[in-house]
Structure 1
């Protein structure tokens, strides 16, 4: 199993490591400035801030979902700005458990494998009473020397990092699979159960789920990241989809689905992301939609 977590104690002991970059991913849907404000109020020392909609997504279009993948050139330049190279260990953290796994997945999508998630997020850091900083390190680089460093890093990473679309699926891919071979793969919906059932839909214009999907809410998965034995707990949670079939995961916009993908990874199961997710699926009037518990297992 690929190592994916670090503890608050480990991070405290390695804060000043030369090849470590810590990224605060806190973000609240509907309150786009809340994460940045929380970062300014107090964050793990040396951390830099990643904004979901400015740094980790591209502008919303008619289709493609609420958080389309970032433009490759822009994202790679952002990595260079943070000084991230293939030798860098990135540690991502959040507060609610949904945003750090997204950065974990996104870095791997662009080819950066050395990324970990802080188990328990900033809550674990607070509970340990470790120091909090209010120094803004997110824009600490400026001036001629900083520009030279940026250029050197960019030269290193431009030839290394690139998108890996093979770990994603598109709507057309998924629609064909559902139509032609619905029993040949597992489709996981990572949203909360009431949204899956179609009882409520607080964000997107249409309620329901993609036909054949199984509901594995991301919050339940995230709660197991801090269990005494996460690998055993997650293997048990996802045992019904550990049968050799391909696994595809979606959520509302391709963000919290990454929590389930990380959990599946820990359980020894590789999974692909439908990045556009429900917000892309329901943007097409002809997309088939299911409601109720008929697809639950």
Structure 2
């Protein structure tokens, strides 16, 4: 099986070696390969305002062969006092779910899509790489691009073809609140807020109990990674976007709950910057600790 040549992804080692795994695949490419034994498609559609909507949409219509993974049930763990609204899932449990849908660790190309400009599919992309699986890509333009291209859809559920997935967690991909508090030392360390500009400025806060941002954070809204149709902007544009922080030793990225921050982490990787780390709890964790400090 051959993959598209561009854009390519730097190796996880960060040494400049380039793998043949694309960041995105086109609907045309996926339409030719969705029956390949070593391709597994994952539907990540979700709505924060209506948590059951994505699953309902999947049951109604999805890409042939696609499996559904839910942001709350599969790509996050249970919410507790601290850790944010979407804590990272247990690696072993997620590994079992990935194996159950046929993803073999470091063998299967997993292709994820949503209808939200990578907002949820990028969480899946980041999680697989966090678990040591680099063969993961996103469908460029997502569900809407598949439909607009006239490609087939179905409501049939795929037959399970169990694989083997044993996570090799890359713990250095994540930082916690203690790291955020102790390692902020610009320009060596940059803290990036991925939310919309008005939420960053504290003019609007539709979800969390406190408006504003973590002191010292700079704002790079996640929606700027794609165009209005949800298609990935060019490598050149991604590099230009991060031109002011590429020399930082560490870039800690957050959003509201550690989900859309992954879109910015994708953008950083495309730009050739592999120092990005996820503050998984993000603003929701920060707020919880401000309102309910540990005793």
- TM interval, short-chain normalised: 0.7 to 0.9
- Pairing 1:95–2:115 present: yes
The 8 Å contact of residues 249 and 257 in structure 1, kept in 2 or not, is answered as yes
Determine the C-alpha separation between the residues in 1 that align with 2:216 and 2:292. 13
Match of 2:284 among 279, 282, 289: 279
CA distance 1:197–1:287, change in 2 (3 Å):
farther
Tell me if the contact between 1:222 and 1:259 (Cα under 8 Å) persists in the aligned partners: no
Query: Which consecutive residues of structure 2, in runs of 5 or more, have no partner in the other structure?
Result: 1-7, 10-21
Q: Distance in 2 between matches of 1:52 and 1:68?
A: 10
> What stretches of structure 1 of length at least 5 have no aligned partner?
142-148, 289-297
Contact conserved, 1:58 with 1:69, CA < 8 A, in 2? yes
Whose helix fraction is larger, Structure 1's or Structure 2's? 1
Of residues 63, 71, 86, the one that matches 1:52 is 71
- Residue in 1 aligned with 2:39? 20
**Aligned match of 1:35:** 54
1 CA distance for matches of 2:246 and 2:292? Answer: 28
In the alignment, which residue of structure 1 is the partner of 2:199?
195
Q: CA deviation at 1:286?
A: 7.3
User: Rg larger in 1 or in 2?
Assistant: 1
TM-score, normalised by the number of residues in structure 2: 0.87
- Measure the CA separation in 2 of the matches of 1:202 and 1:40: 29
RMSD (Å), alpha carbons: 1.8
Q: Name the CA distance, whole Å, in 1 between partners of 2:199 and 2:123.
A: 20
| Aligned pair partner of 1:211 in 215, 218, 221 | 215
Number of equivalenced pairs: 270
1:166 aligned to 2:187? no
Would you identify which runs of 4 or more consecutive aligned residues in structure 1 move more than 6 Å? none
Please name the residue that 1:121 is paired with.
Answer: 142
Query: Which residue does 1:78 correspond to in 2?
Result: 97
Q: What is the TM-score when the length of structure 1 is the normalising length?
A: 0.87
Question: What's the CA shift for 1:127?
Answer: 1.1
CA contact (8 A) 1:281 1:287 kept: no
Per-residue deviation, 1:90: 0.2
Q: CA deviation at 1:287?
A: 9.8
Q: Distance in 1 between matches of 2:219 and 2:103?
A: 35
Cα distance, 1:162 vs structure 2:
2.7
Matched, 1:238 2:259: no
Residues 147-203 of structure 1 show CA distances to partners (whole Å, capped at 9, x for unaligned) of xx74xx3xx433xx132211110001111113xx24421111110111100111110
Q: How far apart, in 1, do the equivalents of 2:286 and 2:227 lie?
A: 28
Match of 2:190 in 1: 186
Classify the secondary structure of the residue corresponding to 2:225: helix
How far off is 1:244 after superposition? 3.9
**1:220 equivalent among 201, 224, 236:** 224
